[in-house]
């Protein structure tokens, strides 16, 4: 590698430098999305590679797609920026830089790294892996020629195991601070390499606790209600208007399916009607809704379910297609399917007043297992479980909330929603 170089346009933010220069054996960088975490982590790996030629390095991420689509491309960009030569061996998932080797491994199968010996390691998006995976990586840093150092770069995910490791344990055992450190609260806005257009875009998509986590880089204890619905702002004297178009959104379910009818107004969408009966088949529910509201613009639904029930799921979609002869939309985009991020998209629209509920749906009507309003305002994070950043599934409120979520994500956020007609 080049021993010296002429002055170059390489720059790091103050927190990135603090991260790069720390001599601690273990250090976690917890920041907002695109705050410069992976860039810093990859730069650190290259610093180690330069300083410790007699050992290999390990770069891990929670999943293989995360490694392939985010961590590795960032590593290659840093290498290009530094002007270093490298070869990447796709089949071995191994990077070779001036004869030194860096292995790329996914932690969803962390057993594959048992038995290896490395000098230093980076775990990208660690909060989406597990404590077990972290322990396995720690155990691999046994190379006698290496510094035995570990770096973590990640957004937080509630106050889970990562919080325990880098906050609680350090409070309880101050002597650990000589070994383990944390840089947190690094905001997305702090990354001056991002455009204002990008910052404006993300600012509009997040709100509340989730924004503090995803943009503020904080460990947030999620608690209380998920959606900021308020009676005076979101319960409106509006009923179904036959002159306006309407959409259907469905959460399939054997026991408690949920079906919402939604209409657009200048101020935002209004949920004008619902079908919320227990123990009905999709055929029965579909036929009833076809009789009442036969001509929706399109139907949104559950993103293709897990492999275990994809068969029934398939037939549910087919059933609706057959009954309505209308497009049925659902997305495969993981960010839109993940409960945490998609719930935040709904919450953000609620906060902006872009979704309201008809007063007709404020109370449970005969035959309904829940009222639409009761479900939307009762949806909450699990109590006394700060590590959970996902709302509680109580089997009662979650179905209506899921149906609303499918509508919002498929209609407003998905460019790739699958159209089935």
Ligand X SMILES: Nc1ncnc2c1ncn2[C@@H]1O[C@H](COP(=O)(O)OP(=O)(O)O)[C@@H](O)[C@H]1O
Contact positions vs ligand X (CB under 6 A): 11-12, 16, 31, 33-39, 74, 191, 193-194
In the complex, the smallest distance separating the C-beta of residue 43 from ligand X, rounded to whole angstroms, is 7
Regarding 389 and contact with Mg ion (CB under 5 A), the answer is: no
282 binds, among Mg ion, ligand X, none (CB under 5 to 8 A by kind): none
In the complex, the smallest distance separating the C-beta of residue 69 from ligand X, rounded to whole angstroms, is 11
User: How far is C-alpha 252 from the geometric centre of its chain's CA atoms?
Assistant: 23
Site size toward Mg ion (CB under 5 A) is: 1
Regarding 155 and contact with Mg ion (CB under 5 A), the answer is: no
In the complex, the smallest distance separating the C-beta of residue 193 from ligand X, rounded to whole angstroms, is 4
Close Cβ partners of 88 (under 8 Å, ≥ 6 residues apart): 72, 76, 94, 95, 96
Of the candidate spans 35-43, 54-62, 129-137, 223-231, the one that interacts with Mg ion by CB under 5 A turns out to be 35-43
CA angle 368/370/372 to nearest 5° reads 105
16 binds, among Mg ion, ligand X, none (CB under 5 to 8 A by kind): ligand X
Cβ proximity to Mg ion, 37 vs 326, nearer residue? 37
Cβ proximity to ligand X, 98 vs 198, nearer residue? 198
Radius of gyration of the chain (CA): 25
Cβ proximity to ligand X, 198 vs 245, nearer residue? 198
| Length of the chain (residues) | 421
CA angle 166/172/175 to nearest 5° reads 80
Query: Long-range contacts made by residues 370-375, C-beta under 8 angstroms, separation at least 24?
Result: 370/276, 370/396, 370/397, 370/399, 370/400, 371/276, 372/260, 372/271, 372/274, 372/276, 372/400, 373/229, 373/235, 375/258, 375/399, 375/400, 375/401
Q: How many helices (H) and strands (E) does the chain have?
A: 16, 16
36 binds, among ligand X, Mg ion, none (CB under 5 to 8 A by kind): ligand X
As given in the structure block, the two tokens for residue 73 are 């491309």
In the complex, the smallest distance separating the C-beta of residue 36 from ligand X, rounded to whole angstroms, is 4
Cβ proximity to Mg ion, 74 vs 397, nearer residue? 74
In the complex, the smallest distance separating the C-beta of residue 153 from Mg ion, rounded to whole angstroms, is 6
411 binds, among Mg ion, ligand X, none (CB under 5 to 8 A by kind): none
35 binds, among Mg ion, ligand X, none (CB under 5 to 8 A by kind): ligand X
Q: Residue 375: helix, strand or coil by DSSP?
A: helix
Regarding 38 and contact with Mg ion (CB under 5 A), the answer is: yes
As given in the structure block, the two tokens for residue 129 are 């892996």
Q: Which residues bind Mg ion (CB under 5 A)?
A: 38
């Amino acid at each position: 590698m080049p021993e010296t170089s002429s002055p170059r346009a390489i720059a790091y933010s103050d927190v990135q430098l603090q991260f790069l220069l720390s001599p601690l054996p273990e250090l976690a960088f917890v920041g907002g999305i695109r705050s410069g975490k992976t860039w810093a982590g990859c730069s650190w790996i290259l610093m180690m590679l330069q300083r410790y030629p007699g050992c290999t390095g390990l770069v891990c991420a929670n999943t293989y797609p995360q490694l392939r689509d985010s961590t590795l491309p960032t590593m290659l960009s840093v290498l290009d920026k530094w002007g270093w030569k490298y070869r990447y061996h796709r089949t071995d998932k191994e990077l070779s830089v001036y004869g030194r080797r860096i292995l790329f491994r996914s932690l969803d199968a962390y057993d594959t790294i048992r038995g290896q010996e490395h000098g230093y390691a980076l775990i990208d998006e660690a909060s989406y892996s597990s404590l077990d995976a972290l322990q396995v990586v720690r155990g691999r840093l046994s190379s006698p020629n290496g510094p035995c150092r570990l770096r973590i770069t990640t957004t937080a995910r509630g106050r889970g195991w990562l919080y325990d490791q880098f906050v609680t344990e350090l409070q309880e055992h101050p002597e650990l601070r000589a070994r383990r450190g944390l840089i947190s609260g690094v905001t997305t806005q702090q990354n001056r390499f991002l455009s204002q257009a990008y910052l404006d875009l993300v600012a509009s998509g997040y709100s509340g606790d989730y924004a503090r986590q995803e943009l503020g880089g904080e460990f947030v204890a999620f608690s209380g209600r998920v959606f900021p619905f308020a009676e005076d702002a979101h319960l409106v004297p509006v009923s179904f208007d036959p002159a306006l178009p309407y959409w259907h959104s469905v959460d399939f379910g054997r026991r408690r399916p949920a079906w919402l009818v939604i209409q657009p107004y200048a101020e935002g969408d209004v949920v004008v009607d619902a079908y919320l009966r227990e123990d009905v088949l999709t055929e029965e529910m579909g036929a009833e809704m076809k009789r009442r509201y036969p001509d929706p613009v399109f139907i949104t639904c559950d993103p293709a379910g897990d492999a275990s029930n994809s068969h029934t799921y398939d037939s549910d979609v087919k059933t609706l297609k057959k009954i309505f002869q209308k497009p049925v939309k659902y997305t495969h985009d993981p960010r839109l399917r993940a409960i945490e991020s998609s719930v935040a998209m709904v919450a953000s629209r609620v906060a902006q007043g872009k979704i309201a509920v008809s007063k007709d749906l404020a109370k449970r009507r005969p035959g309904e297992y829940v009222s639409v309003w009761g479900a939307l305002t009762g949806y909450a994070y699990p109590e006394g479980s700060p590590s959970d950043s996902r709302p509680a599934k109580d089997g009662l409120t979650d179905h209506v909330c899921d149906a609303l979520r499918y509508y919002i994500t498929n209609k407003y956020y998905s460019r790739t929603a699958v159209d089935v007609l």
